[in-house]
Structure 1
Amino acid sequence: MIDTIIFDFGDIFINLDKQGTISGLQQLGMKEWSAEMDRLNLLFETGDISHDDFVAGFQKELPNASIEEILKAWNAVLADFPLYRLEFLQMLSKKYRLFLLSNTDSIHIATFENKSGISFYSDFYQCFEKVYFSFEIGMRKPNAEVFQYLINKHELSPKRTLFVDDKKENTDAAAALGLHVWNLQVGQEDVVDLFEKKIL
């Protein structure tokens, strides 16, 4: 019997437009997503570099772009967060222990909060017993340590815990630790289909 659900954030609750960021960076002169950009992104997602160092790193890669242009392109990934998903989550929160576990950075979270407004994001965060962003805890999926951290800290039973994520490497890592998983297929499935999946 599942009593706990750990959710990812991007493309589970908030829709993402990954091409939006790529297109935005290409307009600023990016020929391809470089190994250095990948390194900067990973370091920023685990809080190992500051906001300023991250932006400065991207300015080196895109010397003709302003800070404002880089931030605009970086945030282009964030699309809409449909209200019906929040309402579904609020209903779930009355029956299950809920956690949020997201690989993300401080820029994206500040932008989400800014765009959605305090009332909406407060209602969202209040659905969870605890919200975990990778940049705050210094760990990211699919590393086993981040799942183990939640299990230990909240005394979770893996066999009674479901993990929902759109990336297969993340659900595979969770499954290896004994958690139930749903690798949600973006565009074909929606988080509100949870009960139809017969997982719970």
Structure 2
Amino acid sequence: MINTIIFDFGDVLINLDKNASLNALKKLGLPGWSKELDDINIQFEKGKITEVQFMIEMKKMIPNASIDEIRTAWNSVLLDFPLERLEFLQKLSHKYRLFLLSNTDEIHVAKFEHKVGHTFAREFYQCFERIYFSFEIGWRKPEPEAFNYIVKKHELSMKRTLFIDDKKENTDIAASLGMHVWNLQVGEEDVTDLFMQKEIPV
């Protein structure tokens, strides 16, 4: 039986508009998503560059946009966090060890906390034994090291751990490591449907 659940954050717990940031940046003058931008994003998500360095690089690509405009556009990916998901996590936390593993950066985390408010953010964070943001640990999914970091640190049993993520490449890696997985289909399923997943021994 499962005794530990590791959650993804975006589109599993908080809703996202994954096209919003790029569309907003294009309106500011960005030609399009490029390998250079992808590399900068990955470095930022892995904590290899600071917010200031990230903004300097973004400003080079969109010279006519202000820092505030770039930050607002970057944060437009974040939508709402349904209360029922928080309440679901709070109930789960009494029965399971819960962890969060998210590919994200410090700008998005700060925006999330501001968007939902101090009380909501505190109650959310209290659901988890530990929260792992990629920019803090230096690894991001689907790198196996991101999963192994948590497993070793908390002495988790792979066969008693469930990993929930909306990206198949992430759940595939977790499954290859021996975890139970749920590749949640955004728009068709909700994380609160967990106990309807008959193939998962929860």
- Report if TM-score (shorter chain) is over 0.5: yes
Amino acid at match of 1:196: M
Return the letter of the residue paired with 1:176: S
Q: Which residue of 1 aligns with 2:138?
A: 138
1:106 is matched with 106
Kindly report which structure 2 residues correspond to 1:9-158, keeping only aligned pairs within 5 A, or say none: 9-158=9-158
CA RMSD, 1 decimal: 0.6
Partner of residue 161, structure 1: 161
CA distance in structure 2 between the partners assigned to 1:135 and 1:99 by the alignment: 16
C-alpha distance in 1 between matches for 2:98 and 2:118:
20
3-state DSSP of counterpart to 1:48: coil
Q: Distance in 2 between matches of 1:18 and 1:174?
A: 23
Q: 1:34 and 1:59 mapped to 2: Cα distance?
A: 15
Q: 1:147 and 1:26 mapped to 2: Cα distance?
A: 34
User: Which amino acid is the alignment partner of residue 160 of structure 1?
Assistant: R
Distance in structure 1 (CA, Å) of the matches to 2:39 and 2:28: 19
SS at match of 1:123: helix
User: Any unmatched runs of 5+ in structure 1?
Assistant: none
The count of aligned residue pairs is: 200
Match of 1:195 in 2: 195
Deviations for 1:120-178, whole angstroms, at most 9, x for unmatched residues? 00000000000000001111110011111111110100000000000011000100100
Q: Distance in 2 between matches of 1:158 and 1:117?
A: 34
- For residue 11 of structure 1, report the CA deviation from its aligned partner: 0.4
Q: Distance in 2 between matches of 1:22 and 1:185?
A: 22
Q: CA deviation at 1:115?
A: 1.1
One-letter identity of the residue aligned with 1:99: F
Give the AA of the match of 2:36: E
For structure 2, the residue ranges without an aligned partner over 5 or more in a row are none
Deviation at 1:36, TM superposition (A): 1.1
TM-score by length of 2: 0.98
Q: What fraction of aligned residue pairs are identical, expressed as a percent?
A: 64
- The Cα offsets for residues 19-44 of structure 1, whole Å up to 9 and x where unpaired, read as 11111011011221011110110000
Alignment partner of 1:10: what SS? coil
- Provide Cα deviations, 1:63-119, integer angstroms capped at 9, x if missing partner: 111101100100000000000000001000010000000000000000000111110
1:140 & 1:113 partners in 2: Cα distance?
Answer: 21
* C-alpha distance in structure 2 between counterparts of 1:2 and 1:75, whole Å: 35
* Distance in 1 separating the partners of 2:23 and 2:147: 33
